[in-house]
Every structure is written in structure tokens, then in C-alpha cells.
Amino acid sequence: MTAVAEPTANDTSQVPAPEGSVTITMRILRFNPEVDSEPHWESYDVPALPTDRVLNVLMSIKNYVDGTLSFRRSCAHGICGSDAMQINGINRLACKVLVKDLLAKEGKQTVVTIAPIKGLPTMKDLYVDMEPFFEAYRAVKPYLMAYGNEPTRERIQSQADRERFDDTTKCILCACCTSSCPVYWNDGSYFGPAAIVNAHRFIFDSRDEGSEERLDILNDAEGVWRCRTTFNCTDACPRGIQVTKAIQEVKRALLFKRV
């Protein structure tokens, strides 16, 4: 879908303006599948405190200007991974971006553009259909696989062994990485970086016995070899996970048949 037409201005006079607030322009890509054939930009001049998060500003618009504005959010603390969106063209979590970090230089009007993440079908406004993303996630079997008799005590692991996959345990499945990946945009059948990160988390877990199975899955035409090492995914990750490094480690495990 391509966006058309100039932004529509909206009446924002009912939005409360607390002391210390500044007026910023939120330029949001809107799409209602019931009435629109294409997405279009709408503009909202709203008061916001520098300490507000972008999510707060979106909530103000939803609460005081247009209740139909649609986006996902839950925790508001960068934990649940629900509110990934493009903020000024970069994939971010709306609850982790502060208004003060987006303010224009003195005297200039701050304009913040907000659009849905790319590579997944837009359902309405800022929320996308995450099913293709979760389908790839499920395909790599992101759970501990262990065979044989049930152990009578916990499965012991050394600190060094735990360290091997520590980084990839931090994933919150926000899709910022996968939806910033040019290979994923151009070829929806690629598993995408998030699925590989979650496979990595178990492939390198010394307690797991499913590594071979997962590596076979990722050796597929849609697997790790599609990655072009452009680092978009690492730059986009709000958890600071070394996504490309994890993908490289999976590639090495496949090349040398050793985890």
C-alpha cells in the first residue's frame, strides 16, 4: 500500500496542556480497511511534556481527539513488545521514546512521523497482522526439547554455558528487527531475524536436545543463508540484542556442525 494526499489537520483543542508542555505535530499514517483503499497521513498538533513518551502522546490523541486511532500497547515499560512502530522512519517501541529526544531545534516546529512497521500487513492504522511473524517463530520450535526419562532433579547448567545464550533470552518478540530486514520485506518466506534469535536461544542451551532439529530447519532455503548481514536488525532491537551476531553463530554452527 502507498500513502496518498497531504495530511488532514484535526481539532486537538480538547487535549489538556499541562504546565511545561510544548506543541508538537504528530503526523500519523492512518488506514481504516472499512473505508480507505489506501493509507493516508493525518496531522495532530498536540501539547506534550518533554518527559512524555510517544505512547503518552498517542494515548492523548486517542482519548481526546479520535478514539478510533488504533495501535497496540500493554506494559508501557518496554517489556511486552506490543507497541513497535516506525517513529521518524525508525522502528522503535513507542513507550521507550521520549518526546524530548525528538524535539526540533529552538524556534522550529517538531514534527514526529508515525507509521506501522513494514513487512507485515497493516490491519488498521498502526497495528499490523503479526501472524506471519509468529508463524516463523513457531517454526523454529522455541522451547526446550529433552528426550529420555524425566529427570529426578533440576537440569544443572554451568554459568559459562548459561552465558552462551544470555543475550538472546532478552527477546520480547516486538518484531522491530524482522520488520526492518530488507530480505524479509522482499521475501516474506524468510524466517526473519527474530525467529533465528529465538532458535539461537535454545540451540546453544546445553540442556536442550533439539539443536540438530532446529539447525536443520534453519538450513532450509528460507533459513539463515538468506541473511545479508546488513545489521538493520541489530540497530533496530530495543533490547540491544546482538541480532546479527546471533545469526552468524547459527551459521557457524551449521558450517562446522558443532554448537
Least separation, in Å, of the C-beta of 218 and ligand SF4? Answer: 12
- Residue 177 binds which of ligand FES, ligand SF4, none (CB < 5-8 A, kind-dependent): ligand SF4
According to CB under 6 A, which one of 120, 128, 175, 199 is a site residue for ligand SF4? 175
Instruction: Tell me how far apart the 2 most distant CA atoms of the chain are, in Å.
Output: 70
Q: Interface with ligand SF4 includes 230 (CB under 6 A)? A: yes
Helix (H, G, I), strand (E, B) or coil at 219: coil
Nearest to 83 by CA among 126, 49, 43: 126
Q: Interface with ligand SF4 includes 254 (CB under 6 A)? A: no
Task: Find the binding residues for ligand FES in span 53-92 (CB under 6 A).
Answer: 73-76, 78-83
Q: Interface with ligand SF4 includes 143 (CB under 6 A)? A: no
Runs of H (alpha helix) within 151-241: 159-163, 182-186, 193-203, 211-218, 232-236
**Beta bridge partners of residue 112, listed in sequence order:** 26
**What value, to the nearest 5°, has the Cα angle with vertex 43 and ends 85 and 23?**
95
According to CB under 6 A, which one of 28, 99, 194, 218 is a site residue for ligand SF4? 194
Contact 114, 81 (CB under 8 A): no
Cell of 97: 521514546
Q: Interface with ligand SF4 includes 173 (CB under 6 A)? A: yes
According to CB under 6 A, which one of 26, 172, 195, 199 is a site residue for ligand SF4? 172
According to CB under 6 A, which one of 57, 69, 95, 115 is a site residue for ligand FES? 95
The residues that touch ligand FES, with contacts defined as CB under 6 A, are 73-76, 78-83, 93, 95
